[in-house]
């Protein structure tokens, strides 16, 4: 090999290495500039919470438990006292559950609005981790649930509700309520994403909430229902949730009382999570 060809070969090798280094640097810069799933979740969650603030959803989250407390407690207080029932203590779980259900309805409206506006479709064309939009909406719903739960407990304290089973059971009560809210919000998000109308979605979810709430042991004891419907009333999820939360607030809940509620939550999550993931991944 001649000296000239040797120099050309060396120069070519240098150029090749330079191009390879430039390509590696470009790929490194590209990787660095691409936001992580955590950053995407944080941005989308902040966006949703800010939207809730602007539209007054967090104000509604405070007002709704007040309406439930006044509307449910005052009409039945004296009737229940005649039966020897401390109605503030008895009623508090269903007030909290109603507030959590309204968070789920809000989640369905939000999901439906984002789907109809094309926001979900736009995210699907971007390098966004698949489940991040769903998770961010659910996390924003948890923020609303915390606000609503805090308000409900404050109003409950005014009418006489107390946690007499200790701090641990009080924390369990709150965590249990938020778990129910999250479970309901996941299902509501799936329905809202698949829906073509936020208003129709809200009405569709309000009806079963009212039916299950009224036909439960949250407002009156099981003995207040006709015998033929008592098995249904006793074993439906709202009643089971009420039993568990009532014991958490007073005396402490046992596993015998808690396990039916856990089965309901696990079963509903097993149905709602795949549905929500599929609804958010499908192309519109």
User: Tens of pLDDT along 24-55?
Assistant: 444 444 455 566 889 999 999 999 999 999 99
Count other Cβ atoms within 10 Å, centred on residue 205.
23
The per-residue pLDDT for 33 is: 58
Per-residue pLDDT at 1 exceeds 80:
no
Per-residue pLDDT at 17 exceeds 60:
no
Q: Are 186 and 276 in contact (CB under 8 A)?
A: yes
The whole-angstrom separation of Cα 28 and Cα 7 is 31
Three-state SS string over the chain comes to CCHHHHHHHHHHHHHHHHHHHHHHHHHHHHHHHCCCHHHHHHHHHHHHHHHHHHCCHHHHHHHHHHHHHHHHHHHHHHHHHHCCCCHHHHHHHHHHHHHHHHHHHHHHHHHHHHHHCCHHHHHHCCCCCCCHHHHHHHHHHHHHHHHHHHHHHHHHHHHCCCCCCCHHHHHHHHHHHHHHHHHHHHHHHHHHHHCCCHHHHHHHHHHHHHHHHHCCCCCCCHHHCCHHHHHHHHHCHHHHHHHHHHHHHCCCCCHHHHHHHHHHHHHHHHHHHHHHHHHHHCCC
Query: pLDDT tens digit string along 272-282?
Result: 999 999 998 87
Per-residue pLDDT at 108 exceeds 60:
yes
The whole-angstrom separation of Cα 133 and Cα 20 is 37
Q: Are 276 and 190 in contact (CB under 8 A)?
A: yes
pTM for the full predicted model: 0.85
The per-residue pLDDT for 146 is: 97
Query: pLDDT tens digit string along 49-78?
Result: 999 999 999 999 999 999 999 999 998 899
Which range is least confidently modeled, 121-130, 156-165, 170-179, 257-266? 121-130
Tokens found for residue 95 = 């007030």
Per-residue pLDDT at 13 exceeds 90:
no
The whole-angstrom separation of Cα 207 and Cα 106 is 14
Cα angle value 203/208/209 (rounded, 5°):
90
113-142 mean pLDDT: 87
The whole-angstrom separation of Cα 257 and Cα 243 is 7
Residue 118 — very low, low, confident or very high, per pLDDT cuts 50/70/90? confident
Q: Tell me the Ramachandran region of residue 163: left when phi exceeds 0, alpha when psi lies from -120 to 50, beta otherwise.
A: beta
Better pLDDT: 155 or 284: 155
Per-residue pLDDT at 215 exceeds 80:
yes
Residue 82: exposure state from Cβ atoms within 10 A (0-12, 13-18, ≥19): exposed
The whole-angstrom separation of Cα 280 and Cα 31 is 26
């Amino acid at each position: 090999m001649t000296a000239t060809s040797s120099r050309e070969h060396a120069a070519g090798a240098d150029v090749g290495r330079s191009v390879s280094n430039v390509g590696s640097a470009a790929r490194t810069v590209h990787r660095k500039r691409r936001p992580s799933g955590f950053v995407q979740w944080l941005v989308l969650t902040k966006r949703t919470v800010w939207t809730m603030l602007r539209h007054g959803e967090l104000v509604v989250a405070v007002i709704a438990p007040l309406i439930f407390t006044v509307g449910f407690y005052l009409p039945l207080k004296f009737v229940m006292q005649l039966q020897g029932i401390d109605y503030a203590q008895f009623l508090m779980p269903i007030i909290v559950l109603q507030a959590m259900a309204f968070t789920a309805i809000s989640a369905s409206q939000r999901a439906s609005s984002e789907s109809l506006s094309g926001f979900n479709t736009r995210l699907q064309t971007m390098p966004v981790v698949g489940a991040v939009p769903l998770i961010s909406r659910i996390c924003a719903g948890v923020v609303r649930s915390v606000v609503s739960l805090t308000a409900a407990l404050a109003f409950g304290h005014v009418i006489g509700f107390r946690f007499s089973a200790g701090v641990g059971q009080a924390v369990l009560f709150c965590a249990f309520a938020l778990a129910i809210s999250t479970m309901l919000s996941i299902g509501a998000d799936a329905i809202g994403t698949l829906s073509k109308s936020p208003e129709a979605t809200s009405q569709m979810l309000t009806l079963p909430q009212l039916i299950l709430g009224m036909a439960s042991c949250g407002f009156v004891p099981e003995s207040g229902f006709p015998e033929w419907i008592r098995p249904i009333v006793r074993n439906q999820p709202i009643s089971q949730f009420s039993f568990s939360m009532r014991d958490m607030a007073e005396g402490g809940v046992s596993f015998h009382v808690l396990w039916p509620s856990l089965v309901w939550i696990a079963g509903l999550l097993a149905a709602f999570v795949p549905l929500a993931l599929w609804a958010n991944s499908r192309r519109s």
